[in-house]
Structure 1
Amino acid sequence: MRVLDTHDEDLRRLTHERHKVFAKFTAENCPTCEQLTKPFIQFSNDPTFADILFVRLNSEENPVAKQLMEERAAPFFVSYCQGQLLECDALFTEEEVKDMILRLSQYTPKAS
């Protein structure tokens, strides 16, 4: 799987079309965003996470993402399952990102 560069409108659609989505919101001139680029791509290619769609949004090009980033530090990560937001946080290390992806991969929605 590769990382899909997308925008606000498509993110909403993708979170409802795909079972699990992991999104990275980035900002220009963000050293931590750059530092986590390679691990993010590696996680997207890891067979363990094959059922997760990895997406990236540039906050400067997306109004909803930009508003979110003004309230939080970059990079900001969000996990979705069946269209619902599960978890969101500013993460700064590869280990934090991996832990969040693992929680998403192991998440099983409760039957209604």
Structure 2
Amino acid sequence: MAVILATDNDFTQVLNSNQRVVVKYYADWCGSCRLFSPKFKRMSDDEAFDGIAFVDVNAETSPEARKLANVTNLPFFAVFKNGQLVDSVAASKEEAVRELIHKLDA
């Protein structure tokens, strides 16, 4: 599945139209964010994560979406289930993000 690019304008709609969502918050100047992008794309194509929407949000240009997850650092990942924040992590390791995504199954 393709990674969805969301902004403040459509972030709530993306959350409400997908039961399970993982969001990567990034900034254009963030090197670690850029390095993680291919991993995030690969994870979105992983059959193990079927039915989960993968979303990219620019934390600098979408302050409302950033507030919903209490973003503290970049890259920052958050999982939402039925529009509600489940958990989040500031990390650049794929294993930490995979563990976060598995919390959607709980």
- TM-score tier by shorter-chain length is 0.7 to 0.9
| TM-score (norm: length of structure 1) | 0.83
1:86 and 1:69 map into 2 onto residues whose CA distance is: 9
Aligned 8 A contact 2:91 2:97 in 1: yes
Aligned 8 A contact 1:59 1:69 in 2: no
1:26 and 1:68 map into 2 onto residues whose CA distance is: 15
Aligned 8 A contact 2:6 2:14 in 1: no
Structure with more of its chain in helix, by fraction: 1
Matches within 5 A, 1:1-112: 1-65=1-65, 72-104=72-104, 106-107=105-106
Count of aligned pairs between the two proteins: 106
| Aligned-residue CA RMSD (Å) | 2.1
SS in 2 for 1:98: helix
Instruction: Read off the aligned partner of 1:15 and give its amino acid letter.
Output: L
Identity of aligned residues (%): 31
Larger radius of gyration: 1
Aligned 8 A contact 1:19 1:82 in 2: yes
In structure 1, runs of 5+ residues without a counterpart are: 108-112
After superposition, the Cα gap between the structure-2 partners of 1:71 and 1:25, relative to the gap in structure 1 and judged at 3 Å, is: closer
1:3 and 1:71 map into 2 onto residues whose CA distance is: 20
